[in-house]
């Protein structure tokens, strides 16, 4: 597995590199967002670890640019813990958000958790499913609405795939947070509700399949 560590602080890059290489990862580095965007265009990474506050191009802007061509999982690093920053990051399509100062061991655990969630596909589930005009290709991580490819964030894909895998089953918001965002994500109901709203917008008329269970959560009913 190959990681790209993006941070303007050389010491942070060094520490993350040491722990990542100890865990068996191949590691590349970038000192700012511009360098990260450039490298991501020419090289394939399994996960990108990116700081938000950087010179030349900040992490959020770099994430936007990378998402135009790549669906690589991104874990954001930030000294800011405001909920707005976290939600904004998830809306851009990041996979996790780690607040500085952080434990390198915790970061390694989050990297493994993000990787596991991205690659998890239940063997017993068909990889391609159709619900009226909604086509879901889990293997290719693609969704089509009436034949047109939907432009969705990585977290929207994760959320939809989990709902579909558990279709017709009532899922609480806490369960969705735990399974889609991970046991170590510190979020609340608004995180789930925000992404459900985004997902429904992406599905257009087939938003009808995502049913709200008042006071509890959601389910994919088809």
- Give CA angle at 33 (28, 34), nearest 5°: 95
Q: What is the mean pLDDT of each run of 10 residues along the chain (222 residues)?
A: 94 95 94 94 92 91 87 87 77 85 90 77 65 90 94 90 91 88 66 92 96 93 90
Residue 52 has a pLDDT of 92
Query: How crowded is residue 43: how many other Cβ atoms within 10 Å of its Cβ?
Result: 10
Question: Which residues are paired to 129 by β-bridges?
Answer: 136
CB 54 within 8 A of CB 6: yes
Instruction: Round the CA-based radius of gyration of the chain to a whole number and report it.
Output: 18
Query: Are 65 and 44 contacting, i.e. CB atoms less than 8 angstroms apart?
Result: no
123 Cβ neighbours under 8 A, 6+ residues apart:
none
147-152-153 Cα angle (round to 5): 160
The angle, 0 to 180 degrees and rounded to 10, between the axes of the packed helices 10-22 and 104-119 is 60
pLDDT (0 to 100) of residue 36: 96
CA 186 to chain centre: 15
Side-chain-facing half-sphere of 29: CA atoms under 13 Å: 15
Domains of the chain and any CATH numbers = 2-119 (3.40.50.2300), 128-220 (1.10.10.10)
Whether the full predicted model's pTM is greater than 0.85, yes or no, is no
Task: State whether residue 20 is helix, strand or coil.
Answer: helix
Helices of type H across 100-214: 104-119, 154-165, 173-176, 189-203
Which of the 8 DSSP states describes residue 181? I
**Comparing C-alpha atoms, which of 81, 46, 76 is closest to residue 62?**
76
In this prediction, residue 122 carries a pLDDT of 46
By DSSP bridging, strand 217-220 and strand 171-172 are: antiparallel
């Amino acid at each position: 597995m190959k990681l790209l560590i993006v941070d303007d602080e050389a010491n942070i890059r060094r520490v993350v590199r040491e722990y990542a290489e100890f865990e068996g990862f191949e590691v590349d580095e970038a000192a700012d967002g511009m360098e990260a965007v450039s490298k991501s265009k020419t090289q394939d990474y399994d996960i990108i670890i990116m700081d938000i506050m950087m010179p030349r191009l900040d992490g959020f802007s770099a994430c936007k640019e990378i998402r135009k061509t790549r669906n690589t999982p991104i874990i954001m690093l930030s000294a800011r813990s405001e909920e707005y920053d976290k939600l904004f990051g998830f809306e851009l399509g990041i996979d996790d958000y780690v607040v500085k100062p952080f434990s390198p061991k915790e970061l390694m655990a989050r990297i493994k958790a993000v990787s596991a969630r991205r690659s998890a596909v239940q063997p017993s589930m068909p990889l391609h499913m159709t619900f009226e005009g909604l086509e879901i290709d889990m293997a290719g991580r693609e969704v089509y609405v009436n034949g047109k490819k939907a432009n969705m964030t990585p977290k929207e894909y994760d959320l939809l795939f989990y709902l579909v895998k558990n279709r017709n089953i009532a899922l609480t918001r806490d369960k969705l947070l735990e399974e889609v965002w991970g046991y170590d994500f510190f979020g609340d109901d608004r995180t789930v509700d925000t992404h459900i709203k985004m997902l429904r917008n992406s599905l257009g008329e087939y938003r009808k399949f995502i049913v709200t269970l008042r006071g509890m959560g959601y389910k994919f009913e088809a």
